[in-house]
Amino acid sequence: MPRPAAQIESMTLPLLPLPQQIERGTGEFQFTPATVIFAEHSFAASARFLSDLIGLAFGAQPPPVEALATEPPDGSVVLRRDPSRKGHGPEAYELQISPTRITISADAAAGAFYGVQTLRQLLPPALEYEALRAARRNPPPIVLPALVVRDSPRFAWRGAMLDVARHFLTVEEVKRYVDLMALHKLNRLHMHLADDQGWRIEIKSWPNLTVLGGSSEVGGGPGGFYSQEQYAAIVTYAADRFITIVPEIDMPGHTNAALASYPELNCDGVARPVFTGTEVGFSALCVEKEITYTFIDDVVGEISSITPGPYFHVGGDEVKALTPGQYLGFVDRVQAIVQKHGKQMIGWDEIAPANLVPTSIIQHWRPKTTPAEAMTKGVKVIMSVASKAYLDMKYDAATPIGLTWAGIVNVQTSYEWDPGTAAEGVPAASVLGVEGPLWSETIANIRDFEYLAFPRLAALAEAAWSPQSSRTWEEFRVRLGLQNARWTALGLNFYRSPEVPWR
């Protein structure tokens, strides 16, 4: 017999993703206008994040952040370095709430940040509401139950992907998505920066890519692109939230925007017309021409030089215009170029048969295939199986936006799967993690992006973070319902799925 939602709710804290271990204590901690946050030097940024968030409760003055020196007085919030957490990885933390103090301990800054995100989810949701913050009226009291949370992620790769090629998102919109990712302890933002319908990143040595290739999008809208400075600003903003940007330039297919911008990239030397439809598979770089590899070397080089993260995604999906031999030879050459620029190559699962080096990574997306043949090469796999993880699938037949080629993906479907066993012949030890791609053929603005991403991205975040043995749909749907207040305060345009008891 499933337990009634109300019974689960009474025992449930609004934490998402579910931490590894929660122990309830007795008593409570109360913030007062005298509360000071003491932080280890390297955790100061996370301390300020917390201070900004709770500032509202005390009028104009957020709690001061001070350097952690001697033993802080009772009533303090303390962010301290604890090397004994090291064995659990740089993202591990412990959050202790007692009547006399709150302590977040971690070995590394990422762990301290996640400890703060967990504390954040226990704070009054109204603190997230910008308008209320500005008005500084009726500050909610902040009283937290005593508890201890010990936590670290199951997977190293907890990702989301934005397709800014089919429809462009501004820098501010991407930052908004980054903020929503950080709340759910996601740590990789994969940006699909080029496709048939648009090229979205300035390449100084090939300027027409953005002058022409950046000026289109699906449906004939204005498109857009990021200057290298703007891209760098996204990288920094994300890094401040412990999110690594993973740039993707899809090739050799999905390249019409490049083929329209430069005639010499086509085998016949004739520029292709700009494309604003949604068919796939028709375009390909001319793999027999040397200029193609000069082009790729320039593009990978420029983007790699402004990308501190270790990854470069080369796409590699859905190429119908080449023979298998041409395709695999191309992937081998591109892998060498990516390595030359100091990055690890990532590609969609079509690259599995290529001569992959052990540091290359496969992103598994096609539900009816498996990249098992590549396991002997020592590569790792990111699980993005479309029938579970594709955020652009409809929630149900009535969803006004989205696609259906991989099926209908309701919230339960996106939650109830084990990334460790999602592809036959791929052992759990070879699974790097989970990523939710959001393709944008049918969606044009951040409101639409949010509607398809939430709540499913939260379900994927938990699949990526929490131990499989602790995850049940029955409990998750109740805890998901408890996100209503915070998500509403954030102005999030989430889908109020009837599968979830929203509170």
Catalytic residues: 318
* Per CB under 6 A, 439 contacts ligand TNX: yes
Tokens of 76: 């303090």
* Per CB under 6 A, 435 contacts ligand TNX: no
Relative orientation angle of helices 324-340 and 290-305, to the nearest 10 degrees: 40
Q: Distance between CA atoms of 215 and 165, rounded to whole angstroms?
A: 11
According to DSSP, the β-strands at 157-163 and 143-151 are unpaired
Q: Distance between CA atoms of 257 and 240, rounded to whole angstroms?
A: 32
Q: Which of 94, 302, 317, 448 binds ligand TNX (CB under 6 A)?
A: 317
* Per CB under 6 A, 392 contacts ligand TNX: yes
Q: Which of 29, 38, 129, 390 binds ligand TNX (CB under 6 A)?
A: 390
- Residue with smaller CB distance to ligand TNX, 31 or 312: 312
Are 46 and 493 contacting, i.e. CB atoms less than 8 angstroms apart?
no
What Cα–Cα distance (Å) separates residue 463 from each residue in 252, 419, 436?
A: 32, 7, 11
* Per CB under 6 A, 416 contacts ligand TNX: no
Binding pattern for the stretch 357-376 against ligand TNX, x by CB under 6 A and - elsewhere: --------x-----------
Question: Nearest distance from residue 402's CB to ligand TNX, in Å?
Answer: 9
Binding pattern for the stretch 269-308 against ligand TNX, x by CB under 6 A and - elsewhere: -----------x----------------------------
Are 415 and 473 contacting, i.e. CB atoms less than 8 angstroms apart?
yes
According to DSSP, the β-strands at 21-30 and 143-151 are antiparallel
Q: Which of 403, 408, 485, 489 binds ligand TNX (CB under 6 A)?
A: 403
* Per CB under 6 A, 327 contacts ligand TNX: no
- Residue with smaller CB distance to ligand TNX, 366 or 479: 366
Question: Nearest distance from residue 165's CB to ligand TNX, in Å?
Answer: 9
Instruction: Tell me how many residues contact ligand TNX (CB under 6 A).
Output: 10
Q: Which of 19, 45, 180, 156 is nearest to 90 (CA)?
A: 156
DSSP for 121-187, please give it: HHS-GGGG-HHHHHHT-SPPP-EEEEEEEEE--S-SEEEEEEETTTS---HHHHHHHHHHHHHTT--
- Residue with smaller CB distance to ligand TNX, 441 or 475: 441
Question: Nearest distance from residue 365's CB to ligand TNX, in Å?
Answer: 5
* Per CB under 6 A, 318 contacts ligand TNX: yes
Give the footprint of ligand TNX on this chain (CB under 6 A): 280, 317-318, 348, 365, 390, 392, 403, 439, 441
